[in-house]
Amino acid sequence: MIQIVTGDSRPLFRQIVDGLTRKILSGELPPGSRLPSVRGLAMELTINPNTVARAYTELTSEGLIESRHGVGVFVCEPRQRLSGEERERRLEEALQRFLGAVAPLGFAPEEILDRLRHELSTYRSATKERP
């Protein structure tokens, strides 16, 4: 389903959130797809089920997945979930985080932009469907 690594600078639950968000926005996990149960994914990754539960809670509050009681966890239909202002704020926040991590590495701006463009192109649905 997804890969996690210990020793990463992101906590395991964040890696799960990032990994699943990517798969959902890229269309690899289309709306209606069923996700593993909390216990199922915890077993697959050999991690504490609380960590998976926490990631699922965050993905649910982001409107990306929903839990249907007694049936399972599913990917939601895409919709405009955030106000323009909120999207702007989040973009700014993410950019600052990104810059803080990337600036010290000393890559040329063009190199960084090329990589970013390449990565963004894998998020077809994310970049296409937003107004």
Partner 1 sequence: MTLIATRTAPSPALLPAAGPEPVIETIGLTKRFGPKLALNQLTLAVPRGGIHAVVGSNGAGKSTLFRLLLGVATPSLGQCRVLGVDSGRLDPATRGRIGLVTEEHTLPGWMTVARLAAMQRSLYPSWSEATFREVAGHFHLHSGQKVSQLSRGERAGFTVALALAQGPELLILDEPTLGLDVVAKQAVLESLLFAGRREDRTLLYCSHQMDEIERLADGLIVLERGELVSHSTPESFWGRIGCWVVAGLVPPEVVVEAIPGLLQRRVVDGREQLVVLDPDPDFGRCLERLGVPGATPLPIGFDRAVNAFLTRNHLSPDGAVAAPRSH
9 makes contact with partner 1 (CB under 8 A):
yes
73 to 102: interface string for partner 1, x by CB under 8 A: ---------------------------xx-
What tokens were used for 17? Answer: 């959130």
Cα–Cα distance for residue pair 24/78, rounded to 1 Å:
9
User: Site for partner 1 (CB under 8 A): which residue of 1, 30, 33, 50?
Assistant: 50
Judged by CB under 8 A, the chain residues 14 through 43 that form the site for partner 1 are 39, 42-43
Which of 97, 95, 99 is closest to 107 using CA atoms?
Answer: 99
Cα–Cα distance for residue pair 124/25, rounded to 1 Å:
8
User: Site for partner 1 (CB under 8 A): which residue of 94, 103, 113, 116?
Assistant: 103
Strand pairing partners for 72? 68
**Residue with structure tokens 């990517």?**
22
44 makes contact with partner 1 (CB under 8 A):
no
Contact residues for partner 1, defined by CB under 8 A: 6-12, 39, 42-43, 46-50, 100-101, 103-104
